[in-house]
Amino acid sequence: MEDFKILEPGQRLRQMRKKLRLTQKDLSGENMSKNYISMFENGKRSINIINATYFADMINMKAKEKGVELNVTASYFVKTQNDIAREVCLEGLDKIKDNNIDKYEKYRELYKIIYISNEYELLNILAKSLKVKGKLLYRDKLYHCAITHFSKSLLYYSREDDLDGIHKCYLAMGKTYFMDGNYKTAITYYNLASLYGDEDSMLYYKALAYYKLGNYELSKSIIDKIIFKDERVLELENCISNID
């Protein structure tokens, strides 16, 4: 878990200083005392943008002297742990979108994001990362595990009163139960999804589930309510017609 720890501003300076093998005296100057640097690194003094800019400039200059390009910005020493945690999580979620990353790396990245977002109470990110992991588990046909993650995601979306997130979780759970062959439960979750999103968009899924249950008449009546019929709807409609 040490790798997931988000450093405080002063700890970030200490970490960079030690990586460059610099002493506190090496960073001090006419308007920056060694005592202030020590107190800042130990969390006993706050920092303003002027001092943060000084540290960024000094770190970049000292790094360049050692043949290292860092391009540290002043904001790095000003941002709170929550700010950094949010950035780390969002960068991780973007990384997962890369199709060149294998699924095991995606799972590892998600584990990190879920841990950090939970630790720093970033509920919207926690909800999203749990849903993303649920989708990966769904693709791997680990349906029970997927349901667990969608359920947890739903909990946090509900706390945030995110109606779109709630809708997508109910829909994802419906699809998962459907793929697991539990069509009646799938319909229940499609109905719940309808309460938080476009009800018309749920019609196809409900019609398909009723078709799988052998209730062709009800499936057909639902399809008849769909105004704009895409290929999948027409295909289902054709299957029912062939049965009739």
CATH at 112: 1.25.40.10
As a whole number of angstroms, the distance between CA 156 and CA 141 comes to 24
Query: What is the DSSP code string of 104-146?
Result: HHHHHHHHHHHHHHHHTT-HHHHHHHHHHHHHHHHHTT-HHHH
> Vertex 65, ends 60 and 66: CA angle to 5°?
100
Structural domain containing residue 116: 81-197
Domain end call among 41, 62, 77: 77
Domain end call among 31, 59, 77: 77
Q: Do residues 147 and 179 make contact, with C-beta atoms less than 8 angstroms apart?
A: no
**Shared domain check, 190 and 96:** yes
78: number of Cβ within 10 Å: 18
**Shared domain check, 124 and 38:** no
**Shared domain check, 239 and 190:** no
**Shared domain check, 136 and 106:** yes
Phi first, then psi, for residue 80 (nearest 5°) are: -75, 170
Q: Do residues 146 and 138 make contact, with C-beta atoms less than 8 angstroms apart?
A: yes
Nearest CA to 109 out of 121, 125, 124 is that of: 125
**Shared domain check, 154 and 120:** yes
184: number of Cβ within 10 Å: 11
Rounded to two decimals, the pTM is 0.86
Domain end call among 77, 98, 124: 77
- Which value, in Å, is the radius of gyration of the alpha carbons in the chain? 26
DSSP state of 181: T
**Shared domain check, 44 and 15:** yes
Residue-level pLDDT, tens digit, the chain, 244 residues: 556 789 999 999 999 999 999 999 999 988 899 999 999 999 999 999 999 999 999 999 999 999 999 999 999 999 999 999 999 999 999 999 998 999 999 999 999 999 999 999 999 999 999 999 999 999 999 999 999 999 999 999 999 999 999 999 999 999 999 999 999 999 999 999 999 988 888 999 999 999 999 999 999 999 999 988 899 999 998 998 888 5
**Shared domain check, 135 and 114:** yes
